[in-house]
Structures are given as C-alpha cells and as structure tokens.
Amino acid sequence: MRLHTSGHMTRCLIGLLASTVIAITFGGVTSVCAQSPSPEPSDVYLARAKRVLSQTPLIDGHNDLPWRIREDSIARGNVNAYDLRKRTPGQTDLNRLRAGMVGAQFWSVYTPGEWRDSGYARVQLEQIEIARQVIAKYPDRLALALSAEDIRREFKQGRIASLLGLEGGHAIENSLGALRAYYDLGVRYMTLTHNVTLDWADAALDSAKHNGLTSFGDSVVREMNRLGMLVDLSHVSAATMSDALNATQAPVIFSHSGARALVDVPRNVPDSILTRVKMNGGIVMVPFVTGFVSPEVMRYDESSRTIITDLQAKYGKDTAAITRDIKAWRAAHPEPHATLSQVADQIDYIRKIAGVDHVGIGGDFDGITEVVQGLEDVSKYPALFAELARRGWSDVDLRKLAGENLLRVFAQAEAVAKRSQASTVR
C-alpha cells in the first residue's frame, strides 16, 4: 500500500504497521428514541450534515483505490476479484461510499516515481486501465466524469461521478505529448511530482535541484491550463508551489494537503502559499493522513525515525534485533492517534487564512494505513461535517467545503482552457 510520509515508511520497513485503532464515531451513532421530546444536539448537527450532503455533491480529491487493488495480496490487480459490492479489506467499497454520502471522487491513478522500469508510462497506463475498469464494472453506482457539468449531472442521477487524478508528473516522461494523451484517457488533474524530484520540478520529500520549476516545468503548467487539466500542488516543494502559481492562468488545487502552521511537515502548505491560493482562486483539500493533521503523531514519527536510525547503526543488518528493540520502545511509548477534531482544526485554519471559498476534502483513503479516529473509512464523512456544523459552520459554507468550491475551480479551469484553445494553435 502506498504511504505518504517518511514516518509511515519507517514503520513499514520494520513490519510494525499492524496496530489496533479504536473506532470512535463523532455524533453519528446515537439513535433517538420515539419517546424523546427532542433530538440530542449531536443528532441535530448530523441531520444538518446529511441534508447538506444530499443537496450538494461531496467531492473527495484523492482516493488510492486503484493502487490498493493493484497491491492487494489476494486480488493482485484483478478488478473482478476485488468486489466493491462486498465489504473490502481496504477503506473503500460501494456500501461505505453510500453511507459516506460521497457524490464525486477523484480516483488517484498513482504510480511510484521510484519505479523507472522500462519507463513510467507502462505502469501509468495500467493504473488508468484499473481505474477505468472499476468505473465500468458498476454502472449503476459509478460514472466516468470529465467535466464540472458531468459531476452535477451524475449527482442528480444518484451515481458517484468518477474522475481520474494522475499522481506524479514523472509519468509524462518529460513529454507534453504524453500529457495530452493522458488527458484524452480521462485524467483531469496531475500532481506535478510525487515524492521524487523530477528533471523539471522539485518534490517536497526529495532534494531540491531546481529551486522550484524549470522552464520546461512552466511549459507543463501552461499546457495543463490549455487542456483544462487541474494543476495539483500536493507533494511539491514550497518553491515549486510558488513557481506554479506564477505560471498558471487557472486556479490550482492541493488534492490532499494540510496546513503547515499546525503540523510542520514538508507535505503541508505554508501560510504564504495559502494566501496566494486565495488570490489564485484555488483550493486546498484537507487529507485524513494522521501525520499531516496531528502534531502529536508527527512528533512520534520523528522520534521513531531517530530510534530506528540508531538501532540500524547498532545492529546493522540484524533485522530481528531491530524489530525486537523497536517493539520494546513502542510498548514503552504508546503511539498517539489523530482525531476527527484535529482534521476539523485543519479545515478551520485553512478557512481562516485562505477563506471558506478555498478549502475542500481530500481524504487519501486506501493510501493510508493508520487512520484518524472517527474517520476510519469512506463511510465517515458526515461525522466530519457534523463536527463543523457544531462549530458554527453555516449550511452555505458546508456546501462550499463539500463540493461547490471544487466545482467552481474546475469550471474556471475549463473556461481558461476554452479561451486558450480559441486563441492558440498547438
């Protein structure tokens, strides 16, 4: 399964990812007895959340189901074997999507930047095929969407509008022609980098080679504008964020990133960029990645990395000794858990700095192993909206967060593309 932070990766390396998570649902499990004179406040907020989500498509910016299917130990890339009509071993299936009131989903067609193979395009095309197979397999529940209007139409028809988001510009292999081909296959956003710095763009979790974007990187952004493909700045360095905002004519997105002021990790967005996102008209879609939303988890990850580095220096290749000692350390230092309230804090903070028109949801389900308490899978979105309602969010603002902000950004990107295509010849 794909992991997003070096803290997660170190846990993977030592084989200690299987930890018990206690599921706590916030405001979504209490039933009201017929004798009750009035509903409890938590039920009032949950009812408001569900009413909003029944009227406005909840658009999640990032779900790694296609990679989860590819890496599944049993299905191993077999879409038919990984049956979404049943309870899946991951965090996503059709019944839980319905319970979560998901109206539209960007399915990530992620490929690892570390897997050069014979070229990145082969794996990328396979991932697009897996995603397209998933969408085609459940025509009563899912529908391929290529535009903002498609999202609105499919929501009215009761199907989840399904879009493709390409995670990592390494997949274009330095070719604008490949970029155009991916767009023709249905890709509607591209994350400029994943965790590996490219020939034309610096990544957040790799060394900086260009201080942002190169001139070719600028041309990639401009071509994405011309196509109507959303520019996704999750995973890129702060300098790349800045350069992309300089180059773009359309609003940008962060498909799954939080606020760096609350959790200081390179994958989150600095305040200076949040301010520019407001000026640009873009959107930051808050993830449910524990180390991005909880400072306690982030500090625990940092401590874990230090301990693991020290043990590797002490024991060398003796993985049994390393595993034994890290287990003992973890037993003496229980891992903290991220909470739904901390995700809500992230959303509130981005609203404070960038404005309510510039925040959304990018859960990153099936791309994470540790989960936020109260947001364990795709069924839990209403609980988050209920918490925000409890904090004083109006229905109008909840609708913006759910999907109206993303629909506006998408429509504006399409308008930029239409003007560009009318005035230029490729």
Q: Which residues are catalytic?
A: 62, 64, 167, 194, 235, 256, 364
Outline where DSSP puts E strands in 168-267. 187-191, 230-232, 252-254
Q: Report d(CA 23, CA 373) in Å as an integer.
A: 6
The neighbouring-strand residues paired with 22 are none
Structure tokens at 242: 């800045």
d(CA 48, CA 330): 41
Q: Which of 309, 345, 350 is nearest to 326 (CA)?
A: 309
Residue 239 CA to residue 221 CA, distance in Å, equals 14
Going by C-alpha positions, the residue among 61, 57, 228 that lies closest to residue 153 is 57
Identify the three-state secondary structure at position 361: strand
Which residues are bridge partners to 140 per DSSP?
none
DSSP state, 37? S
Write out the two tokens for 239: 């300098």
What does the buried/exposed string (b/e) look like for 130-148 if buried means 16 or more CB atoms within 10 Å of the residue's CB?
bbbebbeebeebbbbbbeb
* Residue whose C-alpha is closest to residue 261's, from 252, 274, 278, 279: 274
Q: Is 28 left (phi over 0), alpha (psi -120 to 50) or beta?
A: alpha
Number of residues that this document lists for the chain: 426
As given in the structure block, the two tokens for residue 272 are: 């200076």
Strand-strand pairing, 252-254 and 283-286: parallel
For 61, 104, 111, the CA distances from 311, given in Å and listed in that order, are 38, 45, 31
**Measured on CA atoms in the order 355, 54, 340, 303, is the torsion positive or negative?**
negative
Beta strands 187-191 and 160-167 are parallel
Give the containing element (helix H, strand E) for 144: strand 142-144
